[in-house]
Structure 1
């Protein structure tokens, strides 16, 4: 198992690798957005996350310079040994970054463009390999251990494309990578069920949080089928932190709202690694408190009550997410 034994909070670089993202209140948290400033910010957050116990780091070709930032940070960590399994890096192919290092794309243009073709897999896997290195067939000398399809959907046809799936298997064998897919949208569960039928995936990454819980049973089925689960957007891009029931529960329990939101996901039976989306060191430190908090709340009924109070219909959740502004 790739992720077994790693701490249950990981760090996603979706918001750290590029100047613009859809998280709420981003402008108040990040002032300077140059490449140099964003790399320095990424280093500060990576330092804090590592010190707090994070050992899984998640990036993607479409997350701006996320692969470059994690590579440069790892190069400075003299205490780490590539390939020893203490640090695991995952990346994704399938979206092309098109924002040209802008917070807002003129004319409302796209920040990233989906392309699940074989040609794009070949191009982006080569770019990832050049940036982060190969895993090596027998453990290797790289931190990169996981290659994921970025936001696989039934509509894109990627799970029916035998050429793509065969090529991913070739990359797995050549570089020692594990294979995964990330999911998005109201059909996450249905897409995951189809992915399980292919038999080639080792991990699944899905959106799951106090608001959007629709994929829960399918994630549990995936775990029981032998896949490891990673959860993204566990704070719903910041939306869950504006929920009165969450804020009230955090005040009553004497904990930070962000830690409680993440702890509720950590405690789920599919045993995920839950990605922090921190963009400041203090956020990373607070997010990591979720690991101890989840254990302290186990068996109290607090998490179950919170999940019941906050859940919304997936259609409403994804519609609201689609309306979030890049900032």
Structure 2
């Protein structure tokens, strides 16, 4: 698996990755993004911002880079960056299929993405991803699997994914929604010719949403690499939105709320890679300080009080504005 590269990396930040959801398109649901990005959100402006973040991430030891077909032009921006830096050969590149970007480069679109987990969508988006990333793609994930997703039962799709795996591509899935644990456990049961199909899982886990933890531990024990997304809860755990308990612990550590929030995820024994969704280089550097945070038992107990019931958490997430 490509993630074996991270196992031999020695930089403290090698298990922190960079996700490109917030900078690959002009509209997203992270709080504060209206201040984080320039007024000019042209393709060229966001390409430059993405490349700035990728340069900063790589220089600070980040080795996992995460894109998706629905993240606007994130794959294109990443492909351009890789092509301009042929010396960068030690990164792990992941992307996702299953959502189609429909916003037409507008932050005010009525619909920003459309979900479809059919074989036809996989074939189309795989070709689109291959045209951009080619053999630099290490990991291809089904985007946001839920327990009712046809991707869990479509045998023809499973066969095509198994073919891709046999050709050297790592096949994984991501999850979203209040039933993430059920989706993870269902995906662990998917096999082709008696062998497990999926080798990675990417799920939301943070101080506010911890419900997937036991299932992620189960996935880890089954040999999957666990990637954690939305460790900052779409900005809800960053200043000035962070809850009081998190602000207090951050003050005690002398670091930012973001670093503490991500450190809480990093310390989970099943967490293989934890994503930063930074939109600025300064945010990225602050996020990467998570590798230096050492939380004691009292601090962990206080942070544990922040957990919400999954339906409430996901209802709140669904209400966040695209901006």
**Does the alignment pair 1:80 with 2:77?**
no
* SS of 2:189 mapped into structure 1: helix
* SS of 1:278 mapped into structure 2: coil
* Deviations 1:16-69 (CA, angstroms, capped at 9, x unpaired): 110100000111111220000000000111111111111000000000000011
Following superposition, the deviation at residue 170 of structure 1 comes to 1.1
**Which residue, out of 221, 232, 235, partners 2:218?**
221
* SS of 2:217 mapped into structure 1: helix
Partner of 2:75: 67
Q: Which runs of 5+ in 1 are unaligned?
A: 135-141
Following superposition, the deviation at residue 123 of structure 1 comes to 0.4
Contact 2:26–2:107 under 8 Å retained in 1: yes
**Which residue, out of 20, 24, 38, partners 2:27?**
20
Between the two proteins, the alignment pairs up a number of residues equal to 307
Partner of 1:95: 99
Change (3 A) 1:182 1:309: same
Q: Which runs of 5+ in 2 are unaligned?
A: 191-195
Contact 1:210–1:306 under 8 Å retained in 2: no
Partner of 1:160: 153
Partner of 1:138: none
Contact 1:207–1:231 under 8 Å retained in 2: yes
CA distance in 1, matches of 2:165, 2:298: 41
CA distance in 2, matches of 1:120, 1:16: 24
Contact 1:20–1:104 under 8 Å retained in 2: yes
What pairs with 1:224-243 in structure 2 (closer than 5 Å)?
224-241=221-238, 242-243=242-243
**Does the alignment pair 1:196 with 2:193?**
no
Partner of 2:60: 52
CA distance in 2, matches of 1:264, 1:156: 30
What pairs with 1:125-274 in structure 2 (closer than 5 Å)?
125-134=126-135, 142=136, 144-174=137-167, 176-198=168-190, 199-241=196-238, 242-274=242-274
* Deviations 1:179-236 (CA, angstroms, capped at 9, x unpaired): 1000000110001001000121000000000000000000001000000000000000
* SS of 1:10 mapped into structure 2: strand
* SS of 1:289 mapped into structure 2: helix
Partner of 2:115: 114
* SS of 1:180 mapped into structure 2: strand
CA distance in 2, matches of 1:156, 1:3: 26
* SS of 1:218 mapped into structure 2: helix
Following superposition, the deviation at residue 303 of structure 1 comes to 5.3
| TM-score normalised to structure 1 length | 0.91
CA distance in 2, matches of 1:303, 1:227: 29
* SS of 2:144 mapped into structure 1: coil
